[in-house]
Copies of this chain bind each other. A is one copy, B any other.
Amino acid sequence: MQMPEPNAGILARKPRIVARLREALGEGGVIDDGIELRAYECDGLSAYRCPPLCAVLPASTEEVSAVMRICHDEGVPVVPRGSGTSLSGGALPTADAVLLGIARMNEVLETDYANRFIRVQTGRTNLSVTGAVEADGFFYAPDPSSQLACAIAGNIAMNSGGAHCLKYGVTTNNLMGVTMVMADGEVVEIGGAHLDAGGLDLLGLVCGSEGQLGVVTEATLRILARPEGARPVLIGYDSAEVAGQCVSDIIKAGILPVAIEYMDRLVIQAAEAHVHADYPDCEALLIIEVEGSEAEIADQLGRIIAIANAHNPVELRESGSAAESEKIWQGRKTAFGAMGQINDYMCLDGTIPVSQLPQVLRRIGEMGDEYGLQVGNVFHAGDGNMHPLILYDANRPGDLEKAEDLGADILRLCVEVGGCLTGEHGVGVEKREIMPAQYSGDDLEIQMQVKDVFDPKWVLNPAKVFPLDLSAGRRM
């Protein structure tokens, strides 16, 4: 993975640029010290690192606007950053870019239960949005694994999902409006605490646009009433194909659990070693959770268990208490961390039609064998959002590149079977060069022309999303 050469002219103008930013934000709002900048040199895709020209930490929409006006005027790229948990390198800086960190802007601006929304500054973390309303019985539905750390800004940029999005939808289904600072510093409102709006759906366009169209500083989010109860069931199978078939049959029966999570043997063993979740030793583990009143839970779980039993599970365990539920989920929620304990890994994020699960899982295993790399699978099976984890050794020369090649092959497979390159992590730098597997040159040209409309100078988060050779003529 390569990044473009930094612009020497910008590097030369650093003192002036920093001085202008300091004038706008004050001393504490701008970081240009080499050591301190190390905190911003990478995001969750930590295989790639590059300190930015400088970092700014605005405290208000007005300050974000001031930063954008200066950078637009100076012709300096801006890389927006939420909490820096992106797994696709969406917040990876370039050496000639100003990194715009939104984390200081984390206030709740308004809660309105009658209209079921909360308005927050987008530096607020995902979990603390729910935290602000849970005492009143409400919650914010999208729940990325990183929800303790990740910011709403990044959730909007990547259209983030999570384990419970099978029922509640992803960010775009729960976002009602934004305040956005345009590339030239203009502040606009898109959407709001109402249904739909006339004209083109620019809110839908902005959600998932990976910081290419503007910097979202405030968001109006749909909140939901917390269900009365929830209960998971844990089901183990001795083959990936049978587990995939079970998921497919549940969906086909029209049942919509709140989550259907899948873990394969490699991940089960890692999670087990990490938190002793008491998982069975098997090829494939499903965690299926349903929500609602006690009657509804019993009814739905009854139908799910009947389908699961028809496929002869090696284990089927319905949670009998809150403590058991927490234990069942703990292994899943810490699975990524557990895998990180045993190896370096690259986490992919493709989606496929649910019915393709069995054959795609088999094919991923075969492809791993061909490359001589182990691949673990832990993902949101209910909506076909795969997260293959490719294990590699960062200290062995060539291993990262081999893992990248295998990753690209797996994502191409997702597209071939009718899926797509990313479900919730975004394209970032990680999948930038394989976008042509899904989109023709004309498709990508149209997308870049839409970016032209919002950001004619390509100031915002350049060298991401679009293949470098295609965007070369547009980037500064």
Contact = CB atoms under 8 A, between A and B. Distances in A.
A329 interface: no
Contact of A195 (B192, B205, B254, B423): B423
A38 to B, nearest CB: 30
Contact of A197 (B248, B355, B438): B438
A254 B204 contact: no
A317 to B, nearest CB: 24
A114 B204 CA distance: 27
Interface in A411-438: 418-424, 426-427, 431, 435, 438
Contacts of A173: 169, 173
A159 B201 contact: yes
Interface stretch (A22-30, A402-410, A441-449): A441-449
Nearest to A446: B453
Nearest to A434: B198
B225 A422 contact: no
Interface in A71-130: 112-116
A299 to B, nearest CB: 5
Of A112, A195, A426, the most chain B CB neighbours within 10 A belong to A195
Q: Which of A193, A197, A446, A453 has its CB near the most chain B CB atoms (within 10 A)?
A: A197
B112 A196 contact: no
Interface in A194-245: 194-202, 204-205, 207-209, 212-213, 224-226
Interface stretch (A288-296, A340-348, A363-371): A288-296
Interface residues of A, number: 83
Contacts of A197: 420-422, 438
Given A295-B295, A443-B188, A114 B354 contact: yes
A383 interface: yes
A459 interface: no
A186 interface: yes
B112 A355 contact: yes
Given A199-B439, A201-B208, 18 more contacts: A113-B251, A115-B354, A116-B252, A159-B201, A170-B196, A186-B442, A192-B420, A196-B424, A198-B420, A198-B421, A198-B465, A200-B447, A225-B253, A225-B255, A292-B296, A293-B296, A296-B296, A452-B453
A-B pairs with lowest CB-CB distance, top 5: A225-B254, A204-B204, A295-B295, A114-B355, A449-B453
Interface of A: 112-116, 137-138, 159, 161, 169-170, 172-173, 186, 188, 192-202, 204-205, 207-209, 212-213, 224-226, 248-249, 251-256, 292-293, 295-296, 299, 351-355, 383-385, 418-424, 426-427, 431, 435, 438-439, 442-444, 446-447, 449-454, 465-466
